[in-house]
Amino acid sequence: MTEYRYPKFPVLLPVAIVVIGLIGVTVLLSGASVGVGDVALVIDPLSGTVSNPVVGPRWFLKLPYQSVIKMPYSTQYLILSDGDPNADFSSLMCFSTEGIEVTTDVVVRFGIDVNKAAALYQSYPAMNWEFTTINSITSETTKGITKNYSWIEIKDKRTELAEQIQLAIRTALTDEPSLKGAIINVEVDLKNVGFPKRLVDELQSTVAAQQAVVTAENQRKSAIILANATAQTALIQAEGEARAQIARAKGEADAIQQIIAVVGQDGWATYYNMQKLKEISPNIDTLIVGSEGNFLIPLK
C-alpha cells in the first residue's frame, strides 16, 4: 500500500498569515507620531501613569492599550476682545481709581515647558488651563492694577501700565500651584483702551480749550514782538533823524562861518535877511527898501 504525504506548506501558510496579521495589528496599534510644535504624552490606564513627554516631530512606539495625548508647547494666545474674530473672551472691563469704566483688549502670549508638560496634564486632564486659570489670573490681575491709576494716567501711561500688568501676570502664573510652573515666555499686550463717551467728549473739549489758550498766548506774544519791533524801528528812525539834523546844523554853522569870513558880519546879516524874505514872500519878485524907494532888491 502506497503512503501519501500531504505537503506541509498549506498548513503553515495560514498560520504565517495569522501571525503576520497579528504583528501588523500590534504595530499599527503601537505606532504613534507627534508633529512639529506638539508634545505627546503616553497614558497607561493600567498603571495610571503618564510618560515623559515625546517632543515632535517624530514616530514612536507604545503598548497597544496605551493612549496618546498631544499638547501644543509652542506659542499660544489667549485673546480678550470684542473686535477680534479669533478672540476667546470679550474685552475686559476694568475700573480706574475714580471708578470709571475702562474697556481694554488683552492679548496674552505664552508657551509650555515640555519638561513639565506631564505634571500640567495631570493637574488639568481636560487641558483647559488656558480658559480657566490663565484667563482668571489675567482678568483679576489687570483689574487689580488699573484701579491704582486714574483714567487720565491709564490714557497717558499705557506703556507703564502694560509693563506692570505683564510682570504681575508672569509672577502669578509662576506662583500658581496647579500650573506646576509649566507656563513660560509670557507676554501681555493692551490694545484698544476705551473710555465712556462722556469722558472722551470732555477730553476733546478740554484739549480744544487748551489749544485755544495756546493760540491766544501765541498771538499775544506775536503782537508784543511786533509792537517791540515797530517801536524799535521808530526809535532807530528817530535817532537817525536826530543825527541827520545835528549833521545838517553842523554843516550850516560851518557854512555861515565861511560866509562871514568872506563878507563879514554885516554881509552875512544882509544875506540872511534876503533868504528869510524869500521864504516869507514866495510870490514877490522885487522888494523895495526905504521910504523913498531908493533900494530895489530882486527876490527871484
Three state DSSP letters for 42-109: EEECCCCEECCCEECCEEEECCCCCEEEEEECCCEEEEECCCCCCCCECCEEEECCCCCEEEEEEEEE
pLDDT digits (tens, 9 = 90+) for 101-132: 999 999 999 999 999 999 999 999 999 999 99
Chain position carrying cell 506659542: 75
Cα separation, 98 vs 91, whole angstroms: 20
Q: What's the pLDDT score for residue 293?
A: 47
**In the CATH scheme, what architecture does the domain 76-195 have?**
2-Layer Sandwich (3.30)
Q: Which long-range contacts (CB under 8 A, 24 or more apart) does 172-179 make?
A: 172/137, 172/141, 173/110, 173/134, 173/137, 176/133, 176/137, 178/123, 178/124, 178/129, 178/133, 179/120, 179/123, 179/129, 179/133, 179/134
At 261 the three-state DSSP class reads helix
Cβ count within 10 A of residue 18? 10
Q: What's the pLDDT score for residue 241?
A: 73
What averages of pLDDT result for each successive group of 10 residues across the chain (300 residues)?
Answer: 53 57 54 88 88 87 87 93 94 92 94 94 94 96 94 89 95 96 95 76 57 64 70 70 71 69 67 66 58 52
Q: What's the pLDDT score for residue 224?
A: 72
| Range(s) of the chain covered by CATH 3.30.479.30 | 76-195
Q: Taking Cα atoms as reference points, which of 168, 162, 148 lies closest to residue 192?
A: 162
